[in-house]
A and B are shown apart, each in its own frame.
Chain A
Amino acid sequence: MNFIEIFKSSIQSLIGNKMRSLLTMLGIIIGISSVIAMSAIGKGGEDKIAGNLANSGFGVYEINVDTDADEYKNIYSLDREDIEEVENNVDGIKAITPSIRERISIKNKMGSEIRRMALVYSTTPDFEKIDRVTYIKGRPILSIEYEEGSPVIVIDHLTAKKLFNLESPLGKKISVEFRALKKVREFVIVGVFQHPDSAMNEIGLSTMMPTFTRIPLAQMERIKGTKDYETLIVMPEDPLMGKDVLVRVIQQLESRNNSNIYDYEERIPRGSELKNILETLNVFILFVAGISLFVGGIGVMNIMLVSVTERIKEIGIRKAIGAQNKDILFQFLTESIILSLVGGGLGIITGWILSYIIGHFINITPIVSPTIVLISVIISTLIGLIFGVYPAKQASMLNPIDALRNE
C-alpha cells in the first residue's frame, strides 16, 4: 500500500467523521491560533512601544559631571581625549558624543525682521546617529564642516517657515545671539529638517513648539572658548545591555581622571525595564499557548484511541483480507497527522484573522512572522506524530480474530 493510497483512505475516513474530526482539531486550532495571534500582537505591540521609545530616546544614556563637587574645575572634567579613550577601551558602544545646548535668539538678515527664541545643539556625526532627524531640504552638516567648525546651521522646518515663509531658507544668512555668552555670530543655513515634534503639532497636541537648531561642535567650542564638556551622550549597541556598558564607561573615566564626579542616567527612566517586562510577557504568553497545544495533542491522542476502539472491527476486516501491521500503523498515523496539520492550518488562519481583529481594537498593527507560522506547522505535525504513535501502534497490534469478533 503506497503513501497516496494511505493518504486517500485517511482523508476518506476523516471526512466520514466530519464532526468528530472537527472537534478533535479544535484543541489544535485553539492552541495554534493563540500562538499566532498572541505572538503577532506581542510583536506588533513590542515594535510599537520600541518605536515610541526609540523616538523619545530609549536606550540612550547621559553622562553628567557633578558640577557641585569640590573636585570640579580643579581637574579636567570631560574632554575629547576622554571620549577617545572610552571609545578605544569599552566595547559595545554604538555612538558617543559630547552635548552642549545653548539658548539663543535668531534673526533673519533680509526682509522684514523676525526674531525667535531657540535652542541650539552642538552636533557631531555620532550626535546625528543618536538624535535622528529627517532632512527635508538641503543637507546635513558635512564632515569637513564638522572638522573645521564652519559657521553653518541646520534648522527645523517650522522655524524655517516662520523666518522665510515661502522663500527657500537654503544659503540664507541668519544672525544668532548666544544670550548667556553675550555673543552674536552669523551662520549660513545649509539644511532644514523635519521638526521632531511636528507629528504631535499636526494632530493638535502641542501648540507651543520649541525651535531646534544645530551647529558643528567645533564651532560651539570656539564660541564658548572651552573644550571641556559637562554632558556626554552614549548609545550602547544593545539597548538591553545599556547599564553594563555605562558602568564600564564610568569606570574608565574615573580611573583615567582619578575622580568620581561622573554619573549616568537613562534618558527615558526605566525604559529597559519596560522592554524587559514586554519580553517576559511574550515568553509567558508563548508558555500558555504551549500548554494549550499540549492539551490539544492529548485531545488528538484521546480521539485517536477512541477511534481505534470504535474501528476494531474495521481493523479486523482489513487484516483478514491482507493488511499488514505497518499498513494499519501508517493509516492511523497518517490520520492523526492530517488531523493536526489541518488543525494547525486552520489555527494559523484563525490566529491571523484574530490578531487583526484584536489589533484593530487595541490599535496595534500585528506582525505575523513567517518563523512563527513555520514553527506552528512543524509543531502541529509533531503533535500528530507523537500523540498518534501510541493509538496507531495499538491498532496495528490487534489480533485479527479478536478484532473480527468485536461487535
Chain B
Amino acid sequence: MNDLINYRDRETVIEITKLDKIYRTGDLTLKALDDVSYTIKNGEFVAIMGHSGSGKSTMMNILGCLDTPTSGTYKLDGIDTSNLNNNQLAEVRNKKIGFVFQSFNLLPKLKSWENVALPLVYSGVHAKIRKERALEALKSVGLENRANHKPNELSGGQRQRVAIARALVVKPEIIMADEPTGNLDSASEAEIIEIFKKLNHEGATIVMVTHEDNVGANCKRIIRFHDGKLIKNEVIDHEFYRDI
C-alpha cells in the first residue's frame, strides 16, 4: 500500500557510517566489520547475506543494539547508538527493535501469549493491555487459537510465528530476523517467508540475515558481506526502487 511512495521520500530508519568492529584477543586482531556504510529506509525488506565469517552476524548484533561498534556511527531512528549505556541500549531494544531468532528463543514455561507479551512487561505496559496486544499480535500471524499453548505444544513453524508476534507486539521501528528459517522444514519456511512479506507489505521495515539464496530472493534488496566488507548491494524489487 505504501509502495506508492517514492523511495527517495521515505524516512531513513537505519544509517550506518564508516562502521568498524574489531575483536582483539591477545596479540590477535580480527576486523569483523571493515568500513561499512549503508542506509535502510522505512518499508524496506533487506536481506543481509554472506558466508559464515563474513561479518553478517556481527552486523546483526550491532543493528540489534546487542553490541556496539569499535568506530563509526550507527543511527537508529535518528538516535546515535554509540553514545548509549547498557540500560539505554536495553530500552532501545525494547521499544524500537523486534527480534526474530533462528532458534525461536521462546521461554518454555510461558504460554504463547505470555511469551508475546514479555517485551511489554519490560516497557511497563499495564497487565490487561498487555494481554490484549499480545492476542492482537498473535492474530496477525494467524495463531490466535494457540494463545494458551506452551512452546513445546507447537510445531517449529508455529513457534517461529509466536516469535514474530513477540517482535511485532511493541510496534517496533524495525524487525530484525536472524536466520529465521534456519531451523525449519521447507513448508514452514515458505509459511514464515509469506508472513514476513505480508508484514512488509503492510508497512513493516524488516532486516533479515540469511545465507540461503532462495530465502534472500524474497526480499526487496540484498546486502552482501565478505570478510567484513560490504561487497554488493543488489536490488531485487526494481519497482520499489524505481526512482533511484
Contact = CB atoms under 8 A, between A and B. Distances in A.
B109 A320 contact: no
B122 A327 contact: yes
Nearest to A6: B121
A18 to B, nearest CB: 12
Interface string B89-110: 0110111000101000111011
A313 to B, nearest CB: 7
A12 interface: yes
Nearest to A5: B121
B99 A321 contact: yes
B123 A401 contact: no
B119 interface: yes
A208 B121 CA distance: 82
Interface residues of A, number: 24
Nearest to A8: B127
B109 A321 contact: no
Contacts of B52: none
B107 A322 contact: no
Nearest to B90: A324
Nearest to B105: A317
A320 B99 contact: yes
Contacts of A320: 64, 66, 93, 99, 105
A321 B87 contact: no
Most buried by A among B66, B90, B122: B90
Given A321-B94, A322-B93, A323-B122, A13 B109 contact: yes
A324 B91 contact: yes
Interface string A162-198: 0000000000000000000000000000000000000
B166 interface: yes
A322 B105 contact: no
Nearest to A327: B122
Most buried by B among A5, A313, A317: A317
A201 B33 CA distance: 100
Given A2-B124, A5-B121, A323 B105 contact: no
A318 interface: yes
Nearest to B96: A322
Interface in B68-124: 86-87, 90-91, 93-95, 99, 101, 105-107, 109-110, 118-119, 121-124
B67 interface: yes
Interface in B54-71: 61, 64, 66-67
Interface string B114-152: 000011011110010000000000000000000000000
Contacts of A9: 121
Contact of B122 (A313, A322, A401, A404): A322
Given A317-B105, A320-B105, A323-B90, A401 B66 contact: yes
A1 B121 contact: yes
Contacts, number: 62
Most buried by B among A319, A320, A401: A320
Interface in A11-44: 12-13, 16
Contact of A322 (B67, B110, B119): B119
Interface band, chain B: 20 to 34
B118 to A, nearest CB: 6
A401 B66 CA distance: 6
Contacts of A325: 86-87, 90
Interface string A346-366: 000000000000000000000
B94 to A, nearest CB: 2
A197 to B, nearest CB: 69
B122 A321 contact: yes
B123 to A, nearest CB: 6
A98 interface: no
Interface string A300-341: 000000000000011011111111111100000000000000
A392 B167 CA distance: 27
Given A1-B124, A16-B109, A327-B122, A321 B64 contact: no
B122 A12 contact: no
A322 B66 contact: no
A400 interface: yes
Contacts of B90: 319, 322-325
B67 A404 contact: no
Interface of B: 61, 64, 66-67, 86-87, 90-91, 93-95, 99, 101, 105-107, 109-110, 118-119, 121-124, 127, 166, 170
Given A5-B127, A323-B94, 9 more contacts: A12-B109, A12-B110, A321-B94, A321-B118, A322-B90, A322-B93, A322-B94, A323-B90, A325-B87
20 contacts: A1-B122, A1-B124, A5-B127, A16-B109, A317-B105, A320-B64, A320-B66, A320-B93, A320-B105, A321-B93, A321-B119, A322-B91, A322-B123, A322-B170, A323-B94, A324-B87, A324-B91, A325-B86, A325-B90, A401-B66
